[in-house]
Amino acid sequence: MGEMLGILLLMAIAGLFWQARRQAELASHYMQRYCQRYDLQLLSLARSRQELARHPLRLLTHYQFEFSSDGESHYQGTLKMQGLHVVAVELPPHRMPHS
């Protein structure tokens, strides 16, 4: 019985790790497309924290990313995901490139 619980626990941990990696890959692909669409350069992306949100009750994962709009300055934004779905992208005011 103890071995079975150990195996189930190991499988649950592996599943959570796999889900976190899949979410991180989706976040990376999403931000690359987002930055390309708005003529921004994605500099970095990292998971920052998780929170339990209410109304509706859900687990949100926050990613911090750095981007550049003109190749000289850089800014930080936030990507929020619920599971494998993007909930919000928050960008600070930033300089627009010259056309």
Q: Model confidence over 7-60: pLDDT tens digits?
A: 888 888 888 888 889 999 999 999 999 999 999 999 999 999 999 888 788 889
What letter would DSSP give residue 69?
S
Counted domains in the chain: 1
Query: Is residue 44 domain-resident?
Result: yes
Per the DSSP assignment, residues forming a β-bridge with 76 are: 66
Structural domain contains residue 59: yes
Is residue 62 over pLDDT 70? yes
Work out the average pLDDT over 71-93: 93
Contact 35, 42 (CB under 8 A): yes
Band (pLDDT 50/70/90 cuts) for residue 92 is very high
Supply the pTM of this predicted model: 0.83
In a domain, 50, yes or no: yes
Give the domain range for residue 79. Answer: 1-90
Can you say whether residue 95 is alpha, beta or left, with left for phi > 0 and alpha for psi between -120 and 50 degrees?
Answer: beta
Supply the pLDDT for residue 99.
55
Instruction: Decide if 75 contacts 35 (C-beta within 8 A).
Output: no
Q: Which two tokens stand for residue 45?
A: 């992306």
**98 falls within a domain:** no
Closest-CA residue to 49 (of 59, 41, 39, 57): 59
